[in-house]
Structure 1
Amino acid sequence: MQLGIVGLGRMGGNMRERLRAAGHEVIGFDQDPQVSDVASLAELAEKLEAPRAVWVMVPAGVTEATIDGLAEVLSAGDIVIDGGNSRFSDDGPRAERLDRQGIGYLDVGVSGGVWGRENGYALMVGGAQEHVDRLMPIFDSLKPAGEYGFVHAGPVGAGHYAKMVHNGIEYGLMHAYAEGYELLAKSELVTNVPGVFKSWREGTVVRSWLLDLLDRALDEDPELASLRGYAEDTGEGRWTVDEGVRLAVPLNVIAAALFARFASRQDDSPAMKAVAALRNQFGGHATHKN
């Protein structure tokens, strides 16, 4: 199948390569000419055969402008897929604008970080069934092998909503590991903190991929001494807590993990060093060095 991708950063670039390895023809556009296959959105549209499908993987701040730019060069029958971390409430208005031109729209929550090219990406899709069916060869190639890793979560907005909740849960899981790390590091009894985490990777109820990544980070830097205890939040945790307030759902752990990230910007916290290390391991997010 043929697909256009706009945005060839850590995620988009790896998705292009995974799809090409699966036999798809992928044409990518990026502002960086070193990685781009074409020089403009107009050229991207020209090189794709109608009906076209274009997947957008750009930072949230430029998503709206990018989709508006695509609307100027695409035609009725084409589909735009937003796979970035957009707020779910933006999806409905976008879909309505594109629908007036006969252009379809899917929102896709994508999880997998910098490891997705090798391991596959978990995909949470929102939109009409007919559009989902048309893109299934792409989804099947991006997802991990086997029965898991893909869901048609509901209508437009459902994919980004599901990814928002996924990221909220991620906040809580990471912070639980981080607090455990801080307590072990301050204990007078435990002399091999990295070894404790390594021992948990098999046979325990707390084993997970995040635990594996924390173990990897501790192998590289046993005391996380090179990291500053500072962790950004990219919005999804805030949106999740906002929804908890709106729907009167108590999100005690997720809210506490979000507020802990705010606290990290005030003091150099050992727990937040662990969060920063995990974000770097699974997503290639930048760290602040001491």
Structure 2
Amino acid sequence: MKLGMVGLGKMGGNMAARLRDKGHEVVGYDFDPRVSDVGSLAELVGRLEAPRTVWLMVPAGEPTDGAVEELGGLLDAGDLIIEGGNSHYVKDREHADALKDQGVRYVDAGVSGGVWGRENGYGIMVGGAPEDVERAKPIFDALTPDEGGGYVHAGGVGAGHFVKMVHNGIEYGMMQAFAEGFELMQASDIVDDVPGTFDSWREGTVVRSWLLDLLVRALEEDPELEALRGYAQDSGEGRWTVQAAVDHAVPAPAITAALYARFASRQEDSPAMKVIAALRNQFGGHAVATATDDPVRTPRS
């Protein structure tokens, strides 16, 4: 197929390269002229033959909204937009409805695989009408792993980003569990080889996974993770997953706790923990650290 790719960053650039490796013709557009094939969205649309297919890989929110709106004014009836960023699923329905009168088709595609996707393939989670999804299937086949799998047509418009949102919420919980296990073993006086323990879990255990492989890789580079700050940003999907759980009255304590742990990581001196320390001192006479004390790792009780 011949398609346009809008957004040639870490994900979009590697996806375009993999598609080209698989024989597809990709016309890329990016604000960075060093990587862009064209100078504008209008030029990109002009380089494609009808019915056109344009894949968006730009940040969720205003960048995506603006790109969809601009493309809506450039594309013709029968053309297809695939929105591959991490947009909120409600936005997908709004975009599809806004394009409907013009006859422009819309598919949302959650993409997982990070910077390793060009080599290993991506997980693609798609939402849209069956005929639109089938039309784009050669693209999805090229992006997913060579050995098969990694693809689902999850439902109508919005379903692709909904399941990608849930996927990322699960990822939050898995990462948090590995992180807590690391800290527990490191804090003990029992385990001498924490990196080796994680490495041993990569084969034959029920927790083996690609995330575990990546953690072992990180520990090989820096066994104590001393070069890193204990700060973790959240990209939005974790919050949306928790909100969706509330909306549907589904208990999601692990994902919610993992999200809150990321919030806690951004506090150099947690006000909440100050309250905990004060209360422990009041009811139990427990020693408290003052603002002038040096932070020292103490044995866990």
Length-normalised TM-score, structure 2: 0.88
What is the correspondence of 1:190-205 to structure 2 with a 5 Å cutoff? 190-205=191-206
Q: Which amino acid aligns with 2:4?
A: G
Q: Which residue of 2 is the match for residue 74 of structure 1?
A: 75
Look at both structures and tell me which one has the larger radius of gyration over its CA atoms: 2
Alignment match, 2:47? 47
- SS at structure 1 position matched to 2:136: helix
Would the alpha carbon gap of residues 60 and 16 (structure 1) be closer, same or farther in structure 2, given more than 3 Å must change?
same
- Supply the distance in 2 between the matched residues of 1:130 and 1:150 (Cα, whole angstroms): 16
Once the 2 structures are TM-superposed, how far is the Cα of residue 32 of structure 1 from its aligned partner?
Answer: 0.3
Matches within 5 A, 1:147-162: 147-162=148-163
2:276 aligned partner: none
The answer to whether the aligner puts 1:59 opposite 2:59 as a matched pair is yes
Match of 2:38 in 1: 38
Cα distance in structure 1, aligned partners of 2:98 and 2:247: 27
Instruction: Pick which of 114-123 and 138-147 moved more.
Output: 138-147
- Residue aligning to 1:253: 254
Q: Provide the C-alpha distance between the structure 2 equivalents of 1:268 and 1:192, rounded to a whole number of angstroms.
A: 30
- The superposition leaves residues 82-130 of structure 1 with CA deviations (integer Å, 9 ceiling, x where unpaired) of 0000000001110011111110000001000000000001001000011
Structure 1: give runs of 5+ residues left out of the alignment: 270-290
For residues 259 and 23 of structure 2, the distance between their equivalents in structure 1, rounded to whole angstroms, comes to 41
1:134 maps to amino acid:
R
* Alpha-carbon separation, structure 2, partners of 1:187 and 1:268: 24
Question: 2-side partners of 1:267 and 1:186: how far apart?
Answer: 20
Q: CA–CA distance in 2 between the matches of 1:149 and 1:206? A: 20
Q: CA deviation at 1:163?
A: 0.2
Deviation at 1:246, TM superposition (A): 1.0
Instruction: Report the Cα distance in structure 2 between the residues aligned to 1:128 and 1:184, rounded to whole angstroms.
Output: 49
5 Å matches for 1:105-184? 105-184=106-185
Q: Deviations over 1:121-180 (max 9, x none)?
A: 100100001101110110000011234111100000000000000000000000000000
C-alpha RMSD of the superposition: 1.1
What does residue 11 of structure 1 align with?
11
**Structure-1 separation of matches of 2:136 and 2:245:** 32
* Offset, 1:268: 8.7
Cross-structure match for 1:280: none
Q: Which runs of 4+ in 1 moved over 4 A?
A: none
Q: Within 1, Cα distance between the matches of 2:108 and 2:239?
A: 19
Aligned residue type for 2:111: V
Unaligned runs of 5+ in 2: 271-301
Whether the aligned pair in 2 keeps the contact of 1:230 and 1:268 (CA below 8 Å) is: no
Identity of aligned residues (%): 65
Describe the superposition over 1:37-86 as per-residue Cα deviations: whole angstroms up to 9, x where unpaired. 00000100010011000000001131000111111111111000100000
SS in 2 for 1:60: coil
Q: Per chain length, whose mean CA-contact separation is higher, i.e. which structure has more relative contact order (CA < 8 Å, sep 6+)? A: 1
Cα distance in 1 for partners of 2:38, 2:18 equals: 19
* 2: CA distance, partners of 1:24 / 1:35: 18
The residue type paired with residue 85 of structure 1 is N
- Cα distance in 2, alignment partners of residues 184 and 267 from structure 1: 23
CA distance in 2, matches of 1:131, 1:113: 25
Q: How far apart are the structure 2 equivalents of 1:163 and 1:108?
A: 8
In the other structure, the counterpart of 2:210 is 209
Name 1:276's counterpart in structure 2: none
Structure 2 CA distance, aligned partners of 1:130 and 1:3?
Answer: 17
Paired letter, 1:17: A
- Give yes or no for the alignment of 1:219 onto 2:220: yes
